[in-house]
């Protein structure tokens, strides 16, 4: 269970432990913590309530004495009774329902990361998100003002998304060599949703997805939850060997050719041609996840594979999340019209479309010149951060690790010179206030990488984080 | 395939049919209409391009002569070749992928409705959405201004959603008798998404959902696509017989107690108590879909079932879509904390959270007084519309149909005095520019109802629509 924002009153006659006991009773009586559910640990309760652990212990003991809670060593404290009911009875068996659900839970480390990101003062060394300080507050203010004059009603939109936004996306795509009418474009709530729609709309259970290893895709459960398998091929500059593809009988190939997550690699033009040609020959659909394209730091990026796709082999994913603001939750999928029609229909069944407000804001950003200016500014800042990160890493980790600086995007894929217990490192760093993204998230067998991102934490924090981890690393080397 | 916004040039030397042929070639060459895909009908192409059907026919004939298209009577025109390729080869077999995908397509009538809603000048007699003319443009402008000063960064949010919004929802819930801390609340992109998360997160394949018949739930595919079954019990004032529930061995009971969709019925207080007590006894989880609660037109509504839920039996759904603006895509689920935790984790895996911008706007609306003022205004308008609708229906359909006016919400569940071919009526009305929601959408066996909504179309349009349908009905009676 997650943090509470209730706190006991310090002034007054009711002792703190009593207030805590009453609060817990109310949680139970209102069905928020039903009979059978497990309480957070004493440590977490004490932190959330802002009290000493002893007050929590006293409160729990009292409730145990009343027969409401039951504590067992090793399995924590559970709600066993709600003594207020006239007819005592059990609630629905939620915990077996939670276990029985179809969709896999996130990897526990990802769940932990998702939660700990909101712990105040946490240093996030691996977060794949622009630094909040670069948020273009003033331009956004102007955009919101213009948009609020344009919007005459915030209704549901067409299944493929707000037409003015799709028209802007179509223009943007033309600027990177992709011909796509608004009818071949589906607006989605970020590229992740596109993957979910593809998993639900185009694949049979048991299908195989080919991909590079490591890959972002290993860190999420979207395809596996729908019953698909991921088959990763070691990531190499020369790319995938097509004889292996043939052997794998796959349904899709997933690639991040520009500033790959997590390695930062940029696929060469020649390699892109080869990959597309091979997939065309094999009639293997290709998902090109191109959400980092705009974040090129050292000159132009080769055209997207989609720009050369004359057969309709490629489903192309783009997004504003990595460049402008993830909180807009606006991305797009581009592909053959019958496929886009299918995905749009499932999108309607999933959430009736993305926020119309966000769609208007996105359209306005793409339409006006200040988007380019914003991208330029972000690139400049990222170049500085990348150089700083390199210097800091050399200084603190230089004896133990190697890395290549990426030509764009956010990530440095740091390789330690010997395998490490990454999970222990993660936990230890967390206790010292540093959040890491271990390589095992992106390649289950990995034991020697971390995905660092120089995009999120400010320089000083970044340095402090790297220093703290260096202290921990020393013990391993 | 859906409408195009390309149009041929009227001035210039290139004949219209030639331009159309070139346009189609470009669609094929860019992979938007890959080999194997089916073109829209001649009628639809002519409409979309804004040309005579003869120009379309000439263009298609020319492309057929070039071996690019192939037309067959009955199955339409298909792309059979892209003569530009050096190595002619087939694209991925998208059409069998579309067919093989896990998620069921929407009911074809729903797909049609989703599309036709955006046909200009279509009269929408059944649309469950507030009239665009009531959109609070000025207040929204002020809200956006305030929000743009508050937002310091639009990043990803906590798995359960923006905390200030959950705090406002928690306050709002308290005002209708529900005790729920922010940690028991998950922000979703509309109540539909909540249903999807429940289907993926809490149910096994083969589970049975009990519900009223007719029900909104029959018009969507969210549970069936995840492998669940719906078992409807005829909707009656006295509600469900619990002996049947026991027999059905269901996993969930779904209900819309306030201004039921599509019947408009309001469940009495007594009935609510009974239903909750029965579900508690059976340990049967209950989904209370309460998105129409605020739209009471004749005085107070009984408290939600959730307000009496001391066991944690009820998952409660609310939304701003029906009262403020569907385009915000903001709703909420309230339930036992472990269940909310599970749904939040799947939400993160689905779309990394709802639009942060929309969440800020929703929080601001709920926080400030003008939300209540807006709701009051909407109610006043709806009362007028309901009275108008009643008068209009009496005048034009009085001889053939019966209905009860609802005490709130949007819907009148009109019952014809004899069974009708509803699908034919739907198609005929559509051709005359009127969009209907036949009862069969909400109860597959229904042949005698229409769901009308007095909320969407302005009074005159509404009357015109009813009159047009009266002309059609005459033939059936």
The CA-to-CA distance between both ends of chain A, in Å, stands at 37
Handedness of CA A162, A163, A165, A169 (dihedral sign): positive
Q: What is the pLDDT of residue A240?
A: 61
Instruction: For residues A103-110, give the mean pLDDT.
Output: 88
A227 CB burial (10 A radius; 0-12, 13-18, 19+): middle
pLDDT number for residue B75:
74
B chain contacts of residue A95, beta-carbon cutoff 8 Å:
338
Per-residue pLDDT for A10 more than 50?
Answer: yes
- Please tell me the distance from the alpha carbon of residue B181 to that of residue B11, in angstroms, as a whole number: 65
Q: Check pLDDT > 60 for residue A279.
A: yes
Tens-digit pLDDT string for chain B (477 aa): 455 678 999 888 899 999 999 999 999 989 999 988 899 889 889 988 999 999 999 999 999 999 899 987 777 899 988 766 555 568 888 888 888 888 888 888 888 898 888 888 999 999 999 999 999 999 999 999 999 999 999 999 899 999 999 999 999 999 999 999 999 999 999 999 999 999 999 998 889 999 999 999 999 988 988 889 998 888 765 556 666 777 777 899 999 999 999 999 999 999 999 999 989 988 999 999 999 999 999 999 999 999 999 999 999 999 999 999 999 999 999 999 999 999 999 999 999 999 999 999 999 999 987 899 999 999 999 999 999 999 999 999 999 999 999 999 999 999 999 999 999 999 999 999 999 999 999 999 999 999 999 999 999 999 999 999 999 999 999
Residues 6+ apart with CB under 8 A from B272: B257, B302, B303, B305, B308
The angle subtended at Cα A159 by Cα B322 and Cα A209, nearest 5°, is 120
Q: Which of B73, B72, B67 is nearest to B35 (CA)?
A: B67
Q: What pLDDT sits at residue B71?
A: 86
- Tokens standing for A277? 């040609």
Site of tokens 């029900």: B215
pLDDT of A387 = 98
CA dist B463 → A233, A457, B345, B396 (Å) = 64, 60, 47, 9
Q: What is the mean pLDDT of chain A?
A: 92
d(CA A281, CA B96): 18
Q: Tell me if B144 and A149 make a contact (CB, 8 A cut-off).
A: no
* A289-311 confidence digits (pLDDT tens): 999 999 999 999 999 999 999 99
Q: Enumerate the β-bridge partners of residue A187.
A: A332
| φ/ψ of residue B193, rounded to 5 | -65, -35
- Could you give the 3-state DSSP secondary structure of residue A453? strand
Residue pair A97/B251 in contact by the 8 Å Cβ criterion: yes
Instruction: Please give the structure tokens belonging to residue A387.
Output: 């150089």
CB-based contact A311 B105, cutoff 8 Å:
no
pLDDT score at B242: 67
**What contacts A86, CB < 8 A, 6 or more positions away?**
none
pLDDT at A1: 46
Is A297 in a helix, a strand, or coil? Answer: coil
* Nearest of B273, B275, B274, B255 to residue B265 by alpha carbon: B255
Tell me the helix, strand and coil percentages in chain B, rounded to 5.
45, 15, 40
Contact A457, A381 (CB under 8 A): no
**What six digits make up the tokens of B347?**
């939400």
Tell if the CB–CB gap between A148 and B135 is shorter than 8 Å.
Answer: no
CB nearest A193 (choices: B105, B329, B350): B350
CA distance readout (Å), A286 to A251, A275, B19, B27: 9, 9, 31, 19
CB contact under 8 A, A338 and B309: no
Contacts (Cβ under 8 Å, ≥6 apart) of A46: A52, A53, A55, A56
Which of A100, A202, A337 is opposite residue B1, by nearest beta carbon? A337
Q: What percent of chain A has pLDDT over 70?
A: 95
Predicted TM-score (pTM) of this structure:
0.94
Chain B environment of A310 (Cβ under 8 Å): 29-31, 82, 84-85
Bridge partner list, B231:
B210
Q: Backbone phi, then psi, for A181, in 5-degree steps? A: -70, 160
Shortest Cα–Cα distance, B247 to chain A (Å): 17
**Which of the 8 DSSP states describes residue B304?**
P
CB B427 within 8 A of CB B357: no
Structural domains of chain A, ranges and CATH numbers in brackets: 16-85 (1.10.10.10), 135-368 (3.40.640.10), 375-474 (3.90.1150.10)
Of A183, A189, A281, the CB nearest to B351: A189
- At residue B1, the pLDDT reads 46
pLDDT of residue A342: 94
Question: Is the per-residue pLDDT at A88 higher than 60?
Answer: no
Question: Tokens for B440?
Answer: 């069969």
Do A79 and A28 form a contact (C-beta atoms < 8 A)? Answer: yes
Q: Which residue has the higher pLDDT, A391 or B241?
A: A391
CA distances from A26 to A4, A92, B288, B333 (A): 13, 19, 21, 19
Torsion sign (Cα): B289, B292, B294, B300 = negative
The total number of residues shown for chain A amounts to 477
**What residues contact residue B178 under an 8 Å CB cut-off, 6+ apart?**
A30, B304, B306, B307, B316, B334
Query: What pLDDT, on a 0 to 100 scale, did the predictor assign at position A241?
Result: 65
How many A/B residue pairs have CB atoms within 8 Å? 426
Helix (H, G, I), strand (E, B) or coil at A19: helix
Q: Do B202 and A284 touch (CB under 8 A)?
A: no
C-alpha span between A321 and A189 (Å, rounded): 10
**Mean pLDDT throughout A52-79?**
89
Q: What's residue A239's pLDDT?
A: 57
Longest dimension (CA), chain B: 79
CA B144 – CA B139 distance, rounded (Å)? 9
CA distance B304 to B313: 13
Element (H, E) at B449: strand B449-453
Residue B103: the pLDDT is 87
Q: Which of B94, B191, B288 is the best residue to mutate to test the A interface, defined by the most A CB atoms within 10 Å of its own CB?
A: B94
CB contact under 8 A, B203 and A100: yes
DSSP secondary structure letters along A31-73: TSS-TTPBPPPHHHHHHHHTS-HHHHHHHHHHHHHTTSEEEET
- Interface pTM, i.e. ipTM: 0.93
Instruction: Identify all chain A residues contacting B337, using CB atoms and an 8 Å cutoff.
Output: 1-2, 27, 32-33, 37
**pLDDT given for residue A91 in this prediction:** 85
Mean pLDDT throughout A30-45? 90
CA distance A163 to chain B (A): 10
| CB-based contact A84 B354, cutoff 8 Å | no
Chain B positions in Cβ-Cβ contact with residue A351 (cut-off 8 Å): 189-190, 192-193, 196, 329, 351
Backbone angles phi, psi at A75, to 5 degrees: -115, 10
Instruction: Give the dihedral sign, CA B36/B37/B42/B48.
Output: negative
Q: To 10 degrees, what angle do helices B422-431 and B108-116 make?
A: 20
Joined together, the tokens standing for residue A43 give 């440590």
In whole angstroms, give the CA distance from residue B323 to residue B172: 14
- Shortest CA gap A473–chain B (Å): 30
Q: Tell me the backbone φ, ψ of residue B454, rounded to 5 degrees.
A: -90, 5
Closest Cα of chain B to A118: distance in Å? 7
**Alpha helix positions (H), A328-369:** 337-351, 356-367
Q: Cis omega before residue B430 (within 30°)?
A: no
8 Å CB contact of B355 and A353? no
Q: Do A353 and B200 touch (CB under 8 A)?
A: no
pLDDT per residue as tens digits for the range B32-66:
999 888 998 898 899 889 999 999 999 999 999 99
C-alpha A339/C-alpha A329 separation (Å) is 22
User: Residue A82, Cβ neighbours under 10 Å: how many?
Assistant: 21
Is residue A53 predicted with pLDDT exceeding 80? Answer: yes
Evaluate whether B181 touches A5 at the Cβ level (below 8 Å). Answer: yes
**How far apart are the C-alpha atoms of A416 and A410, rounded to whole Å?**
19
């Amino acid at each position: 269970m997650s943090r509470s924002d209730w706190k006991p009153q310090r002034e007054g006659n009711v002792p703190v432990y009593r207030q805590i006991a009453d609060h817990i009773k109310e949680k139970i009586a209102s069905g928020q913590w039903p009979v059978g559910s497990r309480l957070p640990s004493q440590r977490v309760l004490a932190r959330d309530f802002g009290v000493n652990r002893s007050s929590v212990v006293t409160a729990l003991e009292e409730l145990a004495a009343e027969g409401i809670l039951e504590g067992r060593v090793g399995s924590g404290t559970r709600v066993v009774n709600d003594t207020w009911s006239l007819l005592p009875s059990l609630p629905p068996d939620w915990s077996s329902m939670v276990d029985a659900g179809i969709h896999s839970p996130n990897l526990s480390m990802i769940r932990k990361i998702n939660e700990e990101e909101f712990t105040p003062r946490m240093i996030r060394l691996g977060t794949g998100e622009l630094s909040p300080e670069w948020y273009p507050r003033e331009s956004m203010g102007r955009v919101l003002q213009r948009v609020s004059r344009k919007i005459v009603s915030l209704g549901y939109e067409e299944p493929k998304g707000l037409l003015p936004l799709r028209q802007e996306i179509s223009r943007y795509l033309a600027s990177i060599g992709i011909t796509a009418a608004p009818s071949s474009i589906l607006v989605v709530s970020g590229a992740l949703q596109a993957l979910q729609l593809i998993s639900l709309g185009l694949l049979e259970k048991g299908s195989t997805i080919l991909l590079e290893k490591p890959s972002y895709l290993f860190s999420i459960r979207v395809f596996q939850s729908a019953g698909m398998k991921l088959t990763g091929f070691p990531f190499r500059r020369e790319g995938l060997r097509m004889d292996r593809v043939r052997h794998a009988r796959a349904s899709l190939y997933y690639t991040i050719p520009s500033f790959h997550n997590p390695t930062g690699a940029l696929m060469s033009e020649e390699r892109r041609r080869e990959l597309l040609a091979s997939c065309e020959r094999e009639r293997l659909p290709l998902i090109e996840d191109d959400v980092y394209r705009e974040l090129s730091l050292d000159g132009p990026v080769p055209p997207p594979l989609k720009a050369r796709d004359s057969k309709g082999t490629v489903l192309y994913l783009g997004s504003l999340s990595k460049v402008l603001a993830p909180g807009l939750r606006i991305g797009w999928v581009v592909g053959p019209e019958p496929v886009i029609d299918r995905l749009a229909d499932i999108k309607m069944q999933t959430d009736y479309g993305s926020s119309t407000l966000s769609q208007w804001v996105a359209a306005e950003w793409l339409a006006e010149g200040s988007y380019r200016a914003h991208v330029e500014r972000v690139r400049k800042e990222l170049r500085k951060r990348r150089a700083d990160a390199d210097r800091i890493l050399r200084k603190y980790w230089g004896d133990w690790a190697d890395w290549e600086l990426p030509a764009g995007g956010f990530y440095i894929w740091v390789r330690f010179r010997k395998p490490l217990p990454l999970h222990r490192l993660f936990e230890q760093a967390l206790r010292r206030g540093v959040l890491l993204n271990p390589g095992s998230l992106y390649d289950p067998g990995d034991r020697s990488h971390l995905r660092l991102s120089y995009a999120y934490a400010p320089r000083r924090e970044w340095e402090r984080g790297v220093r703290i981890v260096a202290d921990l690393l020393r013990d391993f080397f």
